[in-house]
Amino acid sequence: MTHSIKQIQHGLAQKKFSSVEITQQYLDQIELHNKTLNCFITVTGELALRQAKAADGVIARGEAKALTGVPLAHKDIFCTDGVKTSCASKMLDNFIAPYDATIIEKFKHDGAVMLGKTNMDEFAMGSSNENSYYGAVSNPWDLERVPGGSSGGSAAAVAASLAPAATGTDTGGSIRQPAALCGISGIKPTYGRVSRYGMIAFGSSLDQGGPLARSAEDCAVLLQTMAGFDPRDSTSIDRPVPDYCERLDEDISGLKIGLPAEYFAEGLDAGVAKVIESAIDEYRKLGAEIVDIQLPNSKLSIPVYYIVATAECSSNLSRFDGVRFGHRCDNPVDLEDLYRRSRDEGFGDEVKRRIMIGTYALSAGYYDAYYLKAQQLRRLIKQDYEKAFNQVDIILCPVTPEVAFKQGAKTDDPVSMYLQDIYTLALNLAGLPGMSIPAGFSQGLPVGMQLIGNYFNEPGLLNVAHQFQQATDWHMKTPEIT
Amino acid sequence: MTLKNEDVRNIAQLARLQISDSEVGQLTTDLSNILALAEQMKAVDTSNVTPMAHPMDATQRLRDDEVTETNQRDKFQSIAPDVENGFYRVPKVIE
């Protein structure tokens, strides 16, 4: 059972099935496979069927909105009023959010049905979904392998057809990398395009929400609901939202696609490189002009990211103090003990490491050498892209240096895990929009292709991705779950 | 940059994290490795580069000073670990 969002919208409109029927089908799939895959932290079956029933009434009255009756899953980083919102942390295991994130509100407004909350790396910190208090998620293409992270539950759920689409967040690759490793499509919009209100903060100057779905077309439909100015997010950009589906069918002949030399250098697995090469050939056939470009400061994105992101995380996560919400230790002897033990018990190892690195980078005497230096280098990374976009319309490169790796392969060495993010971090540092779409297979596992656009050029990105998906069928491949 | 166990204990104190004696050694190694990665930044001269805090160099918006939120104290305190008469309770701070 594999439906696109488009097919579900069509089926509901044509009365081929009701929202209750399609929602029940997905709930049945979740029931069947979630024990194996561990994609969901919370399944909201009862709520979903209630919402679906209401949606069927709305459809019958002819009052359907964009997503009325369409079932979706949400990353457990988005606050959902009255529903547990854990961020995959023991710290928030008992947290029932008292309000909805803006994007949740928008999906409710447009009539979508919520199937449940998906698993992730704790506080979105990780590249393998192994840092979850609720256990690792399996890659549906090979259960012994990771689905990527941090939106690993969302990506695996869509790949395994436990949900037709899901939301995710991307601070350093957390939408694109799991989309690539699970063989689905995902878009990380321009910084400020999607509201961060009610999205539990990790690196505030980097975090951005976006959809994961089977195709670019479905991503366009979901982004339409998610995008837009929000006065409750101080970094939200007040700028009209274009129609993301309008340009999908545009011809891309003559379009200039840049290949950054630094992204095809040493460290890229030969099998992955081969798949990307054939994708580039496909674009040649579609009439695009392929141009070699340089992004010379790319190699700095790992150190810069792991200073900026950890500094911001140490500040953001100071709100978890065991006083107002979340985990509190038993019998604290004094306030200091309450803070320290609540945080020690509530946070996992990777979260603690990042808080400590960030605390160090911001501490007196080290601020200039680490945080300020990183913010300066961040500008150089951004300037590389500005130059590149004077030459080309879209940048194409791999998403990950290798296909999905085995669970446990990198858990003992945080730095080797960080190196997985080499191709995805720079885009967040620059604030640019990017996509990952399926480009083929290596060793029987999906390979993702990354497309990067200029600021607010989501319509152009979606167009380029959709044209590839009209010419190929990699995005239609689904795993056999055994 | 190589950290000593004592540095890590100090950072943990600043971050209000309890670190057990058995964890200190491994954490010192891990944090030193991560900071070694950050050392690569030193190789680039950035003396005339303005630090970048926001991708679009946007500044904070101001709004009129109006009441926009309703009082939801009871709802918010229903998920708090310990409250009394509308207050959050913590161990005694001042003797």
* Closest C-alpha among A57, A58, A158, A73 to residue A107: A73
pLDDT digits (tens, 9 = 90+) for A216-252: 999 999 999 999 999 999 999 999 999 999 999 999 9
Rounded distance between C-alpha atoms, residue A107 and residue A104, angstroms = 5
Give the model's pLDDT for residue A416.
85
pLDDT (average), residues A125-144: 97
Residues of B in contact with A324 (CB under 8 A): 76, 80, 88
User: Is pLDDT of A462 > 90?
Assistant: yes
pLDDT digits (tens, 9 = 90+) for A362-382: 998 999 999 999 999 999 999
Structure tokens at A225: 């609901």
* Closest C-alpha among A167, A156, A157, A147 to residue A211: A167
pLDDT digits (tens, 9 = 90+) for A61-83: 999 999 999 999 999 999 999 99
Give the model's pLDDT for residue A413.
86
ipTM rounded to 2 decimals: 0.95
User: Which of A337, A344, A374 is closest, CB to CB, to B17?
Assistant: A344
Q: Is A150 a catalytic residue?
A: yes
CB within 8 Å: B41 and A307: yes
pLDDT, averaged across chain A: 97
Give the model's pLDDT for residue A52.
98
Give the model's pLDDT for residue B57.
80
Q: Which phi and psi (to 5°) does residue A398 adopt?
A: -70, 165
Q: Is A75 a catalytic residue?
A: yes
Residues of B in contact with A369 (CB under 8 A): 42
* Closest C-alpha among A1, A52, A55, A9 to residue A29: A1
User: Is pLDDT of A395 > 80?
Assistant: yes
Confidence class for position A2, pLDDT limits 50, 70, 90 = confident
Give the model's pLDDT for residue A418.
87
User: Which of B41, B56, B79 is closest, CB to CB, to A304?
Assistant: B41
Rounded distance between C-alpha atoms, residue A96 and residue A85, angstroms = 6
Give the model's pLDDT for residue A354.
96
How close B32 gets to chain A, by Cα (Å)?
A: 9
CB within 8 Å: B11 and A360: yes
Nearest CA in chain B to A325: B80
Rounded distance between C-alpha atoms, residue A142 and residue A375, angstroms = 39
Q: What is the DSSP string of A280-337?
A: HHHHHHTTPEEEEE--TTGGGHHHHHHHHHHHHHHHHGGG--SSSSS---SS-SSHHH
Confidence class for position B61, pLDDT limits 50, 70, 90 = confident
Confidence class for position A47, pLDDT limits 50, 70, 90 = very high
Give the model's pLDDT for residue A417.
86
Give the model's pLDDT for residue B58.
83
Rounded distance between C-alpha atoms, residue A333 and residue B13, angstroms = 17
pLDDT, averaged across chain B: 92
Confidence class for position A1, pLDDT limits 50, 70, 90 = low
Q: Which phi and psi (to 5°) does residue A369 adopt?
A: -70, -30
pLDDT (average), residues A430-435: 98
Residues of A in contact with B72 (CB under 8 A): 98
User: Is pLDDT of B1 > 70?
Assistant: no
